[in-house]
Amino acid sequence: MPKTADDTRQRIVDAALQLFWTKGYASTSIADILDKAGANSGSLYHFFPGKQDLLLAVLQALHDNIGPALLEPAWEGVGDPIEKVFRLLDRYRNSILVTEFRYGCPIGNLALEIHEPDPPVRALLSANFAAWTDAVERCLDEAKARLPRGTNRRALAIFVLTTMEGAVMLGRTHHSIEAFDDAVSQLRHYFAMLIAKRKTRK
């Protein structure tokens, strides 16, 4: 089957995503992307006038695929909404181990690397973090009857996100899963205290 323009564009975006994730945005050259995508420069510049345009496409792709690429595989067969939160964290744990501590959250990596992003880049970084937080917040909304009345579920979802990002960073830095497990263990303990608090106030 002949390759279409859409196929070529997708190959370029996929290649850039992998390279920005593994090498970093600044360290990835256009030549690197062309080589990995098996594309020529004319094709790339037809779709993306500059490197930042390609970054925006990568960020949009990550945002659009959070469900099928991350949430749905993590939550397959899981009914309990709070357990969904911890299954999501467990997926990051597995990624750290499988990659021998090379794994890093692609959005977290880019947010740390690009210190002063242009507004369109900042907006999409923010949208990606918000989509992740929204997903966790929906789980907490499902479990609201088990949490203390007045719990700020949005803030709790943000707390889960920051725990994950920090735990991934420490795991990569120390080349040990211990810090990740310690962080998640403390988060579980906090959830257990919230649930116990609700039970005592019924």
Residues near 91 by Cβ (< 8 Å), separated by ≥ 6? 70, 73, 74
**What mean pLDDT value characterizes the chain?**
93
pLDDT (tens digit per residue) in 37-95: 999 999 999 999 999 999 999 999 999 999 999 999 999 999 999 999 999 999 999 99
SS3 28: coil
Mean pLDDT, rounded, for 133-139: 98
Per-residue pLDDT for 1 more than 50? Answer: no
pLDDT (tens digit per residue) in 183-192: 999 999 999 9
DSSP secondary structure letter of residue 63: H
Per-residue pLDDT for 202 more than 80? Answer: no
78 within 8 A of 146, measured Cβ to Cβ: no
157 within 8 A of 136, measured Cβ to Cβ: yes
Mean pLDDT, rounded, for 117-136: 95
pLDDT of residue 116: 81
CA–CA separation, 168 and 7 (whole Å): 33
CA–CA separation, 10 and 33 (whole Å): 12
Residues near 195 by Cβ (< 8 Å), separated by ≥ 6? 82, 146, 147
DSSP secondary structure letter of residue 194: H
pLDDT of residue 2: 44
Mean pLDDT, rounded, for 88-117: 91
CA–CA separation, 182 and 179 (whole Å): 5
Global pTM reads 0.91
